[in-house]
Amino acid sequence: MTTLSPTTTAPLNVALVGYGYVGKTFHAPLITTTPGLVLHTVVSSDPAKVAADHPEAKVVASLDEALADPAIDLVVVATPNDLHAPQGQAALVAGKHVVIDKPFTVTLDEARALIASAETHDRLLSVFHNRRWDADFLTLKGLIAEGVLGEVTQYESHFDRFRPVVRDRWRERAGPGAGAWFDLGPHLLDQALQLFGPPLAVNADIGVQREGAGADDYFHVTLRYPALRVILHGSLLTAAADLRLAVHGTKGSFVKQGLDAQEDALKRGLTPADEGFGLDPRPGTLTRADGDALSSEVVEGRRGDYAAYYAGVRDAILTGAANPVPAREALQVMELLDLAIRSAAERRELPVEAA
């Protein structure tokens, strides 16, 4: 969908579907601190949990009940991955605008069907790729745009954790959309696509390393461009999990340790309304090359801004402004997610089909 006909006025009433970790930690606080958005309804089986955080919100037990309410303008789907497509489809058919947490869907056919439905019903469909607004990513994006690194030749992006004991949760059990690649891969793929566009080919190693794990907990994926190589790595068995970015170019390198701090801040109950939210406590290191001479300097990170996503959604609905994460961009991520799984299964590099 490229054009949206504005049909509503502020404030926009939002129905949040799901109040697990993602709904509670990310979506609810971002919605409630975005001017022009109101957390009107939460679909949850645990009304006491919702009421403790958001006593002003209405709690209903089913999506159908929320969709039947004419007051609802926007539905945010923050449920397990295999529910994204059916719940998003139901909301679009009901005439609601829709935000879906990443990954967009479990299959490519589901993603394409949702895009077609959004276009048919002239509704906004957006995917919550919030890490476009990570402090480290915004900092790197600026360095590349300013030409500080020259031509980027190698981009290494890590999302490692140390969780040696398998948790009893759907993300770590066998099933559609489970595993580290579907959980963390969308973040890393989306950032790479934003910086460099589609690659020529994908070569992936995706596996299970922890005893008792029902879904993949390791991935090492290489995206091949004409000269550039993009390496995306994730592991749940990395005790020294500090490395986040190592980016090398013809004029220098940028290395960043530590994940963006916004998720931890949200977990502690802070919101974008709090002073210091989005500031990166661990600056990166820029190494400049002047011939054979090398010099290093600290690069203070730009401020992370997850709140920009929902402000963009609000403006897209109310004024027809650009969708902050168009569904077709999320479809590109899905295509590479799928291609990497096929590459790992076949143990070979696979070409990316031209759009």
Q: Which residues of the chain have pLDDT under 70?
A: 1-7, 355
Q: Which of 84, 48, 88, 85 is nearest to 67 (CA)?
A: 88
Q: Which of 74, 66, 63 is nearest to 27 (CA)?
A: 74
Residue 83 pLDDT: 97
Paired with 252 in beta bridges are 288
Residue 2 pLDDT: 45
Kindly give the interhelix angle for 327-346 and 108-121, rounded to the nearest 10 degrees.
170
Domains of the chain by residue range: 12-130+308-321, 135-303+337-351
Structure tokens at 141: 């994006």
Which class would CATH give 135-303+337-351? Answer: alpha beta
Residue 177 pLDDT: 87
Which of helix, strand or coil describes residue 170? Answer: helix
Which of helix, strand or coil describes residue 46? Answer: coil
- What is the C-alpha end-to-end distance of the chain, expressed in Å? 16
The CATH number of the structural domain formed by 12-130+308-321 is: 3.40.50.720
For 131-150, the pLDDT digits (tens) are: 999 999 999 999 999 999 99
Q: Which of 312, 313, 266, 272 is nearest to 99 (CA)?
A: 313
Residue 4 pLDDT: 66
Q: Is the pTM of this model over 0.85?
A: yes
Residue 180 pLDDT: 96
Residue 1 pLDDT: 40
Q: Judge whether 12-130+308-321 and 135-303+337-351 match in fold.
A: no
In this structure, what DSSP letter does residue 258 have?
S
Radius of gyration of the chain (CA): 20
User: Long-range contacts: 287-291, Cβ < 8 Å, 24+?
Assistant: 287/252, 287/253, 287/254, 287/255, 288/148, 288/251, 288/252, 289/250, 289/251, 289/252
Buried b (16+ CB within 10 A) or exposed e, 288-316: ebeeeeeeeeebebbebbbbbbbbbbbbb
Amino acid 185 reads G
Residue 6 pLDDT: 64
